[in-house]
Amino acid sequence: MSEKKESLFSKKNRKLLSDPLNDNNPVTTQVLGICSALAITVQLKPAIVMALSVLVVLSVANVVVSLMRNLIPSRIRIIVQLVVIATLVILVDQVLKAFVYDVSKELSVFVGLIITNCIIMGRLEAFALGNKPWKSFLDGLGNAFGYGWILIAVAFFRELLGAGTLFGYPVLEKLGLYEMGYENNGMMILPPMALVTVGVIIWVQRMKNRDLIES
């Protein structure tokens, strides 16, 4: 039981948090969770709400599955993981609807989208099934942050270039760009441009860290 002595924030544990932010990012390196990155990055606000919801669901699901990891029969483990995720998502949705109705309206379709987010199941399968609850919790947090910042970065550019606003505030109009003949790029609000934006982020990341480039 030497592992017990390991401090809560040892170097190894900190790496669990920081790795997914950059070199092992779930979106840009593992290319997971792309569908939601396309669907909800038209504006910043929903992107942030989605990032937060994924944060809650992923970290809790990781802990729950990690606690049950020795009980889950391996043949039905995928279904068990799915049940855990779906239950959490529905519970969160119900509670939001009852007590913070406005937030739940903001989330609308995203709640359902969380269930289909491959990052969550990917982390449960790859990490939580083989690790202790605290480590799984950190892993969940790290991956959710890694997913979240990409989401927010993409939404930032799409809202700014597509609609000329940030959080609905007309930034470009206030800067007087339209008077100089600038026009919004309507293509940015369509899903394909989200993919291109993610592609650009991946490009920049691999330019900086050449180890990521597959031979």
Partner 1 sequence: MDSNKNSYTFSFAAVMVVLVATLLSVAAISLKPFQDKNVEAEKKQNILTTLGIEVSREEAAKVYKEKITSSYVLNSEGQVVDGDAFTVDLGVELKKPLNEQVFPVFEGENNGEKSYILPMRGKGLWGPIWGYLALENDMSTVSGAVFDHKSETPGLGAEISLGWFQEPFIGKTIFDGTEFKSITVVKGGAKEDDMHGVDGISGGTITSDGVSEMLEERLSKYLPFFNKKISETIEAQADTLLVDSLQTLSLNTIE
Residues that bind partner 1 (CB under 8 A): 39-40, 42-43, 46, 70-76, 79-80, 83, 87, 90-91, 94-95, 97-99, 101, 108-109, 159, 163, 186, 189-190
Residue 180 CB, nearest approach to partner 1 (Å) = 22
Q: How many CB atoms lie within 10 A of CB 40?
A: 22
Q: Which of 146, 181, 186, 150 minimizes the C-alpha distance to 25?
A: 146
Residue 142 CB, nearest approach to partner 1 (Å) = 27
| Per-residue exposure over 138-150, b if at least 16 CB sit within 10 Å of its own CB, e if not | bbbbbbbbbbbbb
Residue 165 CB, nearest approach to partner 1 (Å) = 10
Closer to partner 1 by Cβ: residue 39 or 141: 39
Where do the H-state alpha helices sit in the chain?
A: 11-18, 34-39, 44-67, 77-99, 101-107, 110-115, 118-126, 133-163, 171-175, 191-208
Phi/psi of residue 117, each to 5°?
Answer: -70, 115
Dist CA 104 CA 34 (whole Å)? 23
Dist CA 184 CA 109 (whole Å)? 27
Residue 147 CB, nearest approach to partner 1 (Å) = 18
Dist CA 145 CA 191 (whole Å)? 22
Residue 43 CB, nearest approach to partner 1 (Å) = 5
Closer to partner 1 by Cβ: residue 24 or 184: 184
User: 3-class SS at 93?
Assistant: helix
Ramachandran class of 117: left when φ > 0, alpha when ψ lies in -120 to 50, beta otherwise: beta
